Amino acid sequence: MTDDISAQVTEILALHQGREGALLPILHDIQAAFGMVPQEVLPQIAKALNISKAEVHGVVTFYHDFRDRRAGAHVVKLCRAEACQAVGADRVAAHAQNVLGIDWHGTTPDGRLTLEPVFCLGLCACGPAALVDGRVVGRVDEARFDALIAGVRA
């Protein structure tokens, strides 16, 4: 691990010192800083929280949000849950995978775009719903999906 990364982790750990149940907030900050939770930072976190590296690893791998590699430049999340299914989410998802040539969790070869499933964005009365780089979008049909993709790829 480079000194630079280590220094950044130290800074993040200091922010959460003494906090009850600090691990999730720490991991969120780590991912915000590095775009992923790098394996090499786990020992440093473990040491700071006085838990084993295995425990940190267990937590990182339990939650869907934490990545072990960086996502593409843009992340498109499509809702797969029932309310969106009722208005064609499966069809839109198949279209998305087809157009991008990738499966769930895949990144396009140019590294521009990652496609992820999400189970409910709370936009159940205006589905199918999507989250594009943190921006919520409702009523996503095939045409709107294509427009979204064109937008982030431009």
CB of 127 to other proteins, least distance (A): 7
Peptide bond into 109 cis (omega under 30): no
Closer of 43 and 109 to other proteins (Cβ): 43
Residue 124: CB minimum distance to other proteins, A: 4
CB of 25 vs other proteins, minimal distance in Å: 7
Looking at beta carbons only, is 19 or 109 nearer to other proteins?
19
Q: How many CA atoms lie within 13 A of 33 on its CB side?
A: 19
- Please state the closest distance from residue 100 (CB atom) to other proteins, in A: 21
Axis crossing angle, helix 53-62 with helix 23-34, rounded to the nearest 10: 70
* 145 token code pair: 């999906």
- Backbone φ and ψ for 63, nearest 5 degrees, come out as -95, 135
Contacting positions for other proteins (CB under 8 A):
20-25, 27-28, 49, 55, 58-59, 62-66, 81-87, 118-127, 129, 131, 134-139
User: Hey, what amino acid is at 51?
Assistant: I
